[in-house]
Structure 1
């Protein structure tokens, strides 16, 4: 939950070659998070972008 009370249960996570994971952002819907992940993934980098729901394997 953010300061304004909005629930943002969907995360975009960036995983690098070493297995390190970083939260890129939080989103209200899975579709929104997937759009962001897809946009980031097209940059040709070696990072992997995944979408996860808070409370499902995330802290």
Structure 2
């Protein structure tokens, strides 16, 4: 079974705004990128989160 590529890398800036940095990642890739970006010493917060599918229209 192929590895799920439904993880995203997110960033939270100094003003509380959330930004999607990358999508279509495996969990390991997303978590590794989050650690890499955090390790660069930026003020922003980075984290990996599973992408949720859109809800169907009512």
TM class, shorter-length = 0.7 to 0.9
Larger radius of gyration: 2
Give the TM-score of the pair, scaled to structure 2.
0.74
Alpha-carbon offset, residue 39 of structure 1? 0.6
Q: Which of 46, 50, 55 does residue 52 from structure 2 map onto?
A: 55
Give the equivalent residue in structure 1 for 2:21.
Answer: 24
Unaligned runs of 5+ in 2: 54-58
Alpha-carbon offset, residue 28 of structure 1? 3.3
Q: Would you say how many aligned residue pairs link Structure 1 and Structure 2?
A: 50
Q: CA RMSD in A?
A: 1.8
Shift in alpha-carbon separation, 1:24–1:33, aligned structure 2, 3 A:
same
